[in-house]
Amino acid sequence: QSYGGIDGDSASAAEIICLLSALTNAPLRQDLAMTGAIDQLGNVLPVGAINEKIEGFFDTCMARGSCSSHGVLIPKANVGDLMLRTDVVEAAAAGTFHVHAVSHIGQAMQLLMGRPLGDGSPECLIRLARERSHEFWRMGARRPEG
């Protein structure tokens, strides 16, 4: 684990979301932040300092003058650790700041990309990822060896 820049277990779920966004060409919502570790099965795992991370993003939103649609995605396993400041709790109760608890990366993908995960529709994320992966494979297969 590293403590410089955006790094470490707490950023791993957000990093995979960024990779999946690039793979599917599905833009990410810019009003939500995410923290969480991830395992090889896509489960979003708990992280430390959860209250400080939520409050830090809330403070950033407030400093910018807007929190109406803003919020955070956190590991569901961290819900029992929440002891947020009164102003954050009040904003959540008023619906002006949102705390979304997720247990799997698929839930986060749907929230952040605004598309269904795998219902078979043309815009579903699994279909987009599969098509783009095949496209990359075909591009690689066309390259001359040498």
Residues with a catalytic annotation lie at: 10, 53
Distance of CA 92 to the CA centre of its chain: 19
3-state helix, strand, coil in the chain (%, to 5): 50, 15, 40
Dihedral sign computed on CA atoms, order 77, 24, 18, 54: negative
Give the sheet arrangement for strand 98-102, strand by strand: 32-34, 71-75, 98-102
